[in-house]
Amino acid sequence: MKKILLIVSGGIAAYRALDLIREIKRRGDDVTCVLTKSATQFVQPLSFGALSQNKVYMDLFDLESETNIGHIKLSRDADLIVLAPATANILAKMSYGVSDSLATSILLANNKPLLIAPSMNVKMWNNPATKENIEKLKSYGHIFVGPDEGEMACGEVGSGKMSKVEDIYKEIELLLSPGPLKGKKALVTSGPTIEPIDPVRFISNRSSGKQGHAIADRLSKLGADTHLITGPVNIPYPENVLVTEVNTAEEMLNACKESIPVDISIFAAAVSDWKASEISKNKIKKSINNQNDDEMVLTMMQNPDILKTISETNTNRPKLVVGFTLETENLIKSARSKMLNKSCDWMIANSHVQENQSVFNNDMNEVSFLTNNSEENWGLISKQCVAENLCNKIIKFFDSAA
């Protein structure tokens, strides 16, 4: 049985912390609650005590508690601290080391893993001050879950809703478990590559990196020592992951070669198949040789095949090589042909379009999971769920090989 210290701050989502207590108790773990003064304006302390079956703590200057230096002892007795909901106010106080209550004193004196579930108005969430505070707290090693998008209590719509209880508990489980992939090394490629034509122009694609980043994040949370090699993207990098930024396919291949040996290699990047045979040192003018030509011929050559190169390496081949392919037609047939040609162990096949939307820069993905002798259609699911499903397969792969 694990001991969880739940700190509840004063937001409208405080009532949802009661459901989180129920889930923690249902799973057989112990939970003790600390409420800020503002939290008691939303939910009565009696409710937290009745569900947790433990004393509820609120006052920093409680004589009985502070005889044993309660704000230290509460932290030391816990295996994990969860802050849910986390308001913009308490995040700001944590960022600047303010300890003006029992809750903030515990957070400042904490030496245990800390999981934070933010909840606030969308404008507050997107405020540059809040963003700066969150980045600072992440740099301290604290783990965030959410927030989700949706309609707020105030009627506005956007990011700021506290994550679902089941999603918060998934993160709790990951933080409390030793990690089924602990001791394994993983390599993940993500995002697009860009191939220069001249100093200002390049060839690329619309890949956002969302799928590769989600996989790297999940592998890391499952205990794997994870290296993410990514082309240029506009999304945050996963926490606790080594990141190497690259531009071209050749740079990505070299980074992959330097990363191995690894146990797990997942190639989710959308690598440019072609590059310019010659890169002009100067910007190519519309008028060439003083002629107003309507056409310009660009000579191309193939880029190195990263998946095939790593999969067919004679030394230090990863124990598991997983490829991704995106097709506009004959999805399964093309994916199987690629899996055979590139000598990889598994292939994730996804269609370019689902429900009239491009998979690029989309949070959803419709994929099929292929091995040499099996095929599973996972349907239209979030890219986070694709990452979870794939990592579950990886766990089973190494368990069966043990």
- Residues with a known catalytic role: 154
Tokens encoding 203? 């060839």
DSSP 29: -
Find the largest Cα–Cα distance for the chain: 90
Q: Closest by alpha carbon to 228, among 362, 338, 219?
A: 219
**128-139 and 88-95 are packed helices; what angle lies between their axes, rounded to 10 degrees?**
50
Where helices occur in 163-233 by DSSP H, the ranges are 165-176, 210-221
In sequence order, which residues have a C-beta less than 8 Å from that of residue 384 and are 6 or more positions away?
Answer: 214, 218
Q: Is the CB of residue 162 less than 8 Å from the CB of residue 119?
A: yes
Classify burial at 99, counting beta carbons within 10 Å of its beta carbon; exposed 0-12, middle 13-18, buried 19 or more: middle
Tokens encoding 96? 């600047």
SS3 318: coil
Q: Is the CB of residue 320 less than 8 Å from the CB of residue 267?
A: no
CA distance 35 to 68: 19
In sequence order, which residues have a C-beta less than 8 Å from that of residue 329 and are 6 or more positions away?
Answer: none
Q: Closest by alpha carbon to 386, among 190, 234, 252?
A: 190
What count of other Cβ atoms lies within 10 Å of the Cβ of residue 366? 19
**45-52 and 16-26 are packed helices; what angle lies between their axes, rounded to 10 degrees?**
10
Q: Closest by alpha carbon to 165, among 296, 27, 271, 72?
A: 27
